[in-house]
Structure 1
Amino acid sequence: MGKLYVVSIGPGGLEYMTIKALDVIKKSDVIVGYTKYIELIGDLIKDKIVFSTGMHGEIERCKKALELSKDNTVSIISTGDAGIYGMAGLILELKKDEDVEIIPGVTASSSAASILGAPLMHDNCNISLSDLMTPYEIIKKRVEFAAKGDFVISLYNPRSKGRPNYLMECINIIKNYRKGDTPAAVVKNALRNEQKYKIFTLDTFDDFGVDMLSIVIIGNSLSFVKNGEFITPRGYNINRKG
């Protein structure tokens, strides 16, 4: 019997993959993944059998990975963490008696946070603004509840050509519960080539250039910016003036 690994490859650079992820990819016979993600690990899989599909091919990929894993060692890859908007859940929903192991990785919000400073140091949540899987009314409700609960909020899939207004609409929802000087940042291509980031406030926030390769992080009521670094205090009793 074969084995299926659901492998998290992190933000895309090999240096940010876990040792375990590198190890299981190297020992796999077959690699399955979204075409663009396959390209990110091209140097690792030159001698592998590769099955890839384009956008919206998730079910096909997962079914193929499970089928191939009956007689082979297979890795199906996800960027970030496969258990956060990745392939882990779908694989587990579809599997029957296949041997499946999930390999964790660095998710997009963690990658973006490391560039900005330490914005996720207290209670935080991830919300995707993509309405392909979740109705937009539910998304807005989740954004409102997260804002009301004073969570630091990481917005995945914040803006696309088909959803040009969702991000600013959600920013305006959050502004009902946060002060205008609350830090809000955009990171594009986190820990990849062409990485860019900018720290705003809620009052100055600008969604120009924000796309599906971006993560938006909004601070809580205690978040602040110090020397260009976005910080959410954990609550340690320190003298910040010292």
Structure 2
Amino acid sequence: MAQVYAVGVGPGSSRYVTGIVKDVIQNCDIVIGYKYTLNTIDSLIKGKQVHEITMKNQEEAYQEVAKTLGDKKLVIPFTGDVNFSESEVVDRLIEVFGDVEIIPGISAIQVAASKARVPLDKSKVITMHVTTTIEEKKLELQKALIDGFSVVLVPRPWPKVPEKHFMQSEIAHYLRKNGFDTTSLKVHVFEFLTTERETEFVGTVKDLEGREFSDLSVMVINQSSLESYINF
């Protein structure tokens, strides 16, 4: 009987691949994934049957492997954590393969929050990285900021469709147009987290207007304050 695993391999560095995920990958027969994700686990997939996919051909690859999977073990690795910002793909995998075991990984969201020293339990985590409408998510962003929460956010790169492109610059314009004082909102933008290419931008949301960042970026709007146990 076939076994299918969807696993998170961390933000980019092989050091962030958990032990259980390494074990699953090393004991599988087939791997299907995007180039960036496969690069993260390159040392673990040598000798495996590997299918490198893009958004254009992923459906074809899933269908082709499903027909001949037999009793083999298949792994579909995801950058970061499978359970965050990947639900559209995971739902499709379940439709194609049936029973899919999900093994979480370390998300760029966690790493970004840690580097910005913004606790997740005092923040709202929002992903715009979906193909469906993000209008409700935009309202969720506004409400979170009004309510005083910090926000850890994954933007949406869609340069070929400008009206759907919602990266840091577009977010900054959107908030300013909706009445927020973006000169007072502190922000961090992290690119290529945990890799040798990692960068960090620190400033205000207003500073993001006109700036371009990588598709592999996370932003943190910091509204947190210290609330240690000694103060209560």
TM normalised by structure 2 equals: 0.81
1:114-169 deviation digits (Å, cap 9, x = unpaired): 333335351321221x4x61225344333323333433222213445344665334
> 1:236 maps to what in 2?
228
Contact 2:156/2:166 (8 A) holds in 1? no
> 1:33 maps to what in 2?
33
Give the alignment of 1:171-190 within 5 angstroms: 171-174=172-175, 176=179, 180-190=183-193
> 1:113 maps to what in 2?
113
Shift of 1:82: 1.3
CA spacing shift, 1:104–1:207, aligned 2, 3 Å: farther
The CA distance in 1 between the partners of 2:182 and 2:209, in whole Å, is 16
The CA distance in 2 between the partners of 1:94 and 1:15, in whole Å, is 31
Shift of 1:112: 2.0
Contact 1:11/1:80 (8 A) holds in 2? yes
Secondary structure at the aligned position of 2:122 is classed as: coil
> 1:137 maps to what in 2?
135
Shift of 1:207: 5.1
Query: Structure 1 regions of 5+ residues with no counterpart?
Result: 224-231
Contact 1:158/1:211 (8 A) holds in 2? no
**Counterpart code for 1:216:** M
Secondary structure at the aligned position of 1:204 is classed as: helix
The CA distance in 1 between the partners of 2:68 and 2:147, in whole Å, is 45
The CA distance in 2 between the partners of 1:66 and 1:155, in whole Å, is 34
> 2:194 maps to what in 1?
191
The CA distance in 2 between the partners of 1:150 and 1:66, in whole Å, is 47
RMSD: 2.7
CA spacing shift, 1:178–1:59, aligned 2, 3 Å: farther
> 2:72 maps to what in 1?
72
> 2:123 maps to what in 1?
123
Of 143-152 and 75-84, more deviation after overlay is shown by 143-152
**Counterpart code for 1:170:** I
Query: Structure 2 regions of 5+ residues with no counterpart?
Result: none
Shift of 1:48: 0.5
- Whichever structure has more helix as a proportion of its residues is 2
CA spacing shift, 1:165–1:45, aligned 2, 3 Å: closer
The CA distance in 1 between the partners of 2:229 and 2:189, in whole Å, is 29
**Counterpart code for 2:79:** T
The CA distance in 1 between the partners of 2:220 and 2:102, in whole Å, is 27
Contact 2:172/2:206 (8 A) holds in 1? no
Of 133-142 and 17-26, more deviation after overlay is shown by 133-142
Count residues with an aligned counterpart. Answer: 224
The CA distance in 1 between the partners of 2:51 and 2:166, in whole Å, is 35
The CA distance in 2 between the partners of 1:32 and 1:3, in whole Å, is 14
CA spacing shift, 1:8–1:84, aligned 2, 3 Å: same
**Counterpart code for 1:150:** G
Contact 2:169/2:212 (8 A) holds in 1? no
> 1:89 maps to what in 2?
91
TM normalised by structure 1 equals: 0.78
The CA distance in 2 between the partners of 1:61 and 1:67, in whole Å, is 10
CA spacing shift, 1:158–1:115, aligned 2, 3 Å: farther
